[in-house]
Structure 1
């Protein structure tokens, strides 16, 4: 009887152990499944976040391209405006300008030729900048005149308004000047058509060479 009771107790102990082991195995499976589900959810969230970031990046690039186009248009408008202000004022055409040259020397040493351009057209135009100038000599040669050190000023002409620019040089009072100017060839700023003017009567002789004469930018007479 004693041995029978011990065997029964041993059997009960083994059964309890097996029962506990089975319960532990079930918990482990549950934990693993939970971890797998959590990892999948995290992976899905990460992929969604990456997709959103790429979408926003593409949108920003598109906006940047649109902005660049706008800047280009603004610059193009300013380049074609004829004025620094960006207003769309066309450049004055040679055919719409009445141009004349006069001696305006302030004294006997400083020579100056004032060249006036009057807008005889029907619309406002811009004469901003340097005119192209060549001086023709009695020997039939033509000499381009260099620009003086000055910044152009915005010069907008309404119909009937005038702009002026000048040629400056030193007067040779010795009587030995080697220059014999006969004509001034003028091409208004931003134009390609040229007019030929007579060298002003009474203007002082040029000291040195034609390379010593300088042309200055236009400005209004008002």
Structure 2
């Protein structure tokens, strides 16, 4: 009987122990760890979201970059001046509103002379002296027409040459020339009487006599070319 009681008590004790163990395992396997992991995952997700939000704030930097780009575009738009005007201003010509002041016809003393180097090459030098009170630019090609004895006039084409900066202080001179081949046959069809000159970037024309002693023009006025101005210094 005593043995039976001891056995029964041992069985009850073993059952209680097994029950407690089962309960302890149930707690360890509960959703607390999962919940904790889920919270950590949520925190991580929130952290990622925050990082993304911070990354998203980079759009401000992008906007700044866009703003910089716009600023560069505005800076680039400041190049509206033409080459002659910029070059003239850099060489001391007076400016008005950012543009160089070109020499006016009324301020220039202009004349023409024969400057042919030999009997085959015809050259007419046309000199323009700044008689004004301010520095000005005569850079570029003058407009030239040659008037004939039949009272017609022909425009002269430009020679293949790049304009040179021609800035004139008061009293300075600029020169440009007409070039052609001299006709030695005595049968030239061109009989020039006058040279009509319009200074570069001007609209007013002066009428000059064809230089005495200049060689006759071979092939007509279409063979004559005008070249850009340059200083005499």
| TM-score normalized by the length of structure 1 | 0.90
Cα 1:71–1:118 change in 2 (3 A) is same
The match for 1:193 is 204
State the structure with more CA Rg: 2
In structure 1, stretches of 5+ residues that fail to align are none
Shift of 1:185: 1.3
* Paired residues for 1:32-181 under 5 Å: 32-52=38-58, 54-76=59-81, 80-81=85-86, 83=88, 85=90, 88=95, 89-181=100-192
Could you tell me which runs of 5 or more consecutive residues in structure 2 were left unpaired when the two chains were aligned: none
Q: CA deviation at 1:172?
A: 1.3
Q: RMSD over aligned Cα, in angstroms?
A: 2.0
Once residues 152 and 79 of structure 1 are traced to their aligned partners in structure 2, the CA distance between those partners, rounded to angstroms, is 9
Give the total of aligned pairs. 221
Q: 1:77 to 1:181 in 2, by over 3 A?
A: closer
- Residue 129 of structure 1 contacts residue 218 of structure 1 at CA under 8 Å; is this kept in 2? yes
Helix, strand or coil for the counterpart of 2:81?
helix
Task: Check 1:77–1:215 CA distance in 2 against 1; reply closer, same or farther (3 A cut).
Answer: closer
- TM-score normalised according to structure 2 size: 0.86
Report SS of the residue matched to 1:73. coil
Tell me the alpha carbon deviations over residues 124-178 of structure 1, each in whole angstroms, 9 at most, x when there is no partner: 1111111111111122222111111222211110001000011011111222111
**Deviation at residue 208 of structure 1 after TM alignment:** 0.9
Q: Secondary structure at the match of 2:129?
A: strand
